Amino acid sequence: MPLYDFRCECGYLAQNIPQRITSPHTMTCPCGLEMKQDYSDYNPPMIFGELPTTGFLAGGYYDDQLGAEITGKAQRKELMKKKGLRDFEMGSEQAHMHKETEYIAKHAPEKDIRREVGKVANEFDTKFKEKQADTYAKEHIDPVVDAMVAQLD
């Protein structure tokens, strides 16, 4: 079953959601709005070497994000460099969530996949927000408190 990414107007991103090809490519955001399929992290199927010389990719493909016809890995890399872009790399937490999502897609009953993946996404989102709050406190609040305490001494 293919995996899709969805983005909401509120900024929420759900990644690697399994859906049938024949399903409508939308889903409902936790905020209640309809999410649309997101292509911002799309990487074309180029894993090793250049594009194949036979088959449907032989002539290259058009990359909407780069706004150009891509004929090879080196050309894509050069265009990305000119635009100040780099390939997406998963952090350890994202990789963990991705593995959990893949496991769910393989083992959960089809009717439960969305709900179970949603649970994983919500857990990840909560941990991410807590980490952001902790980082903000360390960078912005702690120095102010330390300075005030130093003045008291």
Alpha-carbon distance 140 to 119, whole Å? Answer: 31
Phi, psi of 39, rounded to the nearest 5 degrees:
-115, 10
Residue-wise pLDDT for 102-138, tens only, equals 888 888 888 888 888 888 888 888 887 888 888 877 8
> What does the block give as tokens for 111?
């009717």
How many other β-carbons are positioned within 10 Å of the β-carbon of residue 8? Answer: 19
Q: What is the pTM of this model?
A: 0.35
Residue-wise pLDDT for 36-74, tens only, equals 887 665 554 443 444 444 444 556 777 777 888 888 888
Alpha-carbon distance 114 to 39, whole Å? Answer: 20
61 contacts 44 by C-beta, under 8 angstroms:
yes
